[in-house]
């Protein structure tokens, strides 16, 4: 009993010291650049609606795919989903950011209903980052036009054994680091929309899929506007009209998906107008897509119903220690 009080004081002093260290360590680490407070956690969800421009994501058990579902690489996040319906099954292709290499690859998931998805495997990887795997069918074959801006080209791939095996076909555009290339065929002509940085939209056209591709005389059709320039998903031909999805990158990257009807598309002219329903996707303020959404792809399931795959993100706190500490000058 005679030693109880000294032990109690030492214990109390120890608790205070621990508290000071716990409170002071984050400040010191942040001061020396060794603390990363937060990062965006991208995930993939699905939405349904009676129109492609009025979508409800709340009825589904979202997100349907996250980085934790990826088994063959250590994934940091998943994003940019595109899907097709083949042989009574949905196949979804999407960006998988490999946390080990720091480069993104293309992953594949499958679903019988469009609501519950099973991750399969990585289907395409290159020495440079791949994202935005725009998959489409033409002349009985499946093609993929992923973002390959680190290769300074827009590269086309063809499925040699769909959906798992893809081979390089050729470059459609070279000499430019273009983002999110989006392709559509209208009136026997191919059209290619591609972003440059986050504020410029370039337009190309060709008679044949493999080219030669010619830049439109009015390209860039959008310049200096990060709120509507960068593509945000599949170009949609619906009821004889063409619609372009655009991601809003201000005030934050990937905050909304806006939709524009292309009203004039010819070899000499281009015009578009925003729909009253726009934006069709945005951050919800809670959950997996709390902070923003920047991508959508559509499938019409019957005459009055639509299925869409989307992505969204929230900010998560994370601690990263770097050694040696960076030197401040």
Q: Is residue 5 part of a domain?
A: no
Letter string b/e over residues 95-127, b meaning 16 or more CB atoms within 10 A of that residue's CB: bbbbeeeeebbbbbbebeebeebebbebbbbbe
Q: Is residue 232 part of a domain?
A: yes
Q: 317: pLDDT confidence band, cut at 50, 70 and 90?
A: confident
Q: Is residue 87 part of a domain?
A: yes
DSSP-derived secondary structure for 105-130: EEEEEEESSSSS-EEEEEEE--SS--
Q: Is residue 325 part of a domain?
A: no
Q: How far is CA 297 from CA 44, 66, 86, 247, in A?
A: 11, 17, 16, 13
Looking at the predicted structure, is the pLDDT value of residue 320 above 70?
no
Letter string b/e over residues 60-92, b meaning 16 or more CB atoms within 10 A of that residue's CB: bebbbbbbebbeebebbbbbbbbbbeeeeebbb
What does the pLDDT read at residue 38? 79
Q: Is residue 171 part of a domain?
A: yes
Domain that holds residue 153: 38-317
Q: Is residue 305 part of a domain?
A: yes
Q: Is residue 16 part of a domain?
A: no
Looking at the predicted structure, is the pLDDT value of residue 132 above 70?
yes
Per-residue pLDDT tens over the stretch 23-66: 454 554 454 555 556 789 999 999 999 999 999 999 899 999 99
DSSP-derived secondary structure for 299-325: EEEETTEEEEEEEEEEEEE-----SSP
Total number of domains in the chain: 1
Looking at the predicted structure, is the pLDDT value of residue 19 above 90?
no
What does the pLDDT read at residue 10? 47
Average pLDDT over residues 302-319: 92
Q: Is residue 62 part of a domain?
A: yes
pLDDT over 90, % of the chain: 83
Per-residue pLDDT tens over the stretch 197-255: 999 999 999 999 999 999 999 999 999 999 999 999 999 999 999 999 999 999 999 99
State how far Cα 94 lies from the chain centre.
8
What does the pLDDT read at residue 17? 44
Is 28 in a helix, a strand, or coil? helix
- Cα 236 to Cα 97: distance, rounded to the nearest angstrom: 27
CATH number, domain with residue 187 = 2.115.10.20
């Amino acid at each position: 009993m005679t030693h109880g009080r000294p032990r109690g004081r030492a214990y109390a002093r120890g608790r205070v010291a621990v508290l000071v260290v716990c409170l002071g360590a984050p400040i010191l680490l942040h001061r020396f650049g060794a603390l990363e407070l937060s990062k965006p956690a991208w995930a993939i969800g699905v939405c349904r609606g009676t129109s492609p421009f009025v979508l409800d994501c709340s009825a589904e058990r979202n997100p349907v795919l996250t980085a934790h579902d990826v088994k063959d690489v250590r994934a940091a996040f998943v994003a940019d989903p595109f899907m097709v319906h083949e042989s009574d099954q949905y196949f979804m292709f999407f960006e998988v950011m490999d946390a080990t290499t720091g480069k993104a690859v293309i992953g594949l998931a499958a679903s019988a209903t469009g609501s519950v998805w099973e991750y399969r495997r990585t289907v395409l990887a290159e020495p440079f980052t791949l994202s935005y795997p725009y998959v489409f069918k033409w002349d009985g074959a499946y093609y993929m036009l992923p973002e390959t801006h680190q290769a300074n080209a827009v590269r086309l791939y063809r499925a040699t054994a769909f959906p798992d095996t893809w081979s390089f076909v050729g470059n459609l555009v070279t000499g430019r680091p273009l983002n999110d290339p989006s392709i559509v065929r209208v009136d026997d002509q191919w059209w290619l929309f591609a972003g440059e940085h986050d504020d410029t939209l370039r337009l190309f056209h060709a008679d044949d899929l493999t080219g030669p591709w010619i830049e439109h005389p009015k390209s860039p059709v959008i310049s200096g506007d990060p709120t509507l320039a960068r593509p945000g998903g599949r170009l949609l031909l619906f009821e004889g009209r063409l619609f372009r999805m655009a991601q809003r990158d201000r005030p934050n990257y990937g905050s909304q998906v806006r939709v524009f009807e292309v009203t004039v598309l010819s070899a000499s002219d281009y015009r578009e107008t925003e729909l009253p329903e726009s934006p069709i996707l945005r951050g919800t303020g809670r959950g997996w897509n709390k902070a923003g959404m920047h991508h959508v792809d559509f499938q019409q399931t019957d005459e009055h119903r639509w299925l869409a795959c989307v992505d969204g993100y929230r900010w998560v706190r994370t601690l990263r220690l770097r050694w040696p500490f960076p030197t401040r000058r």
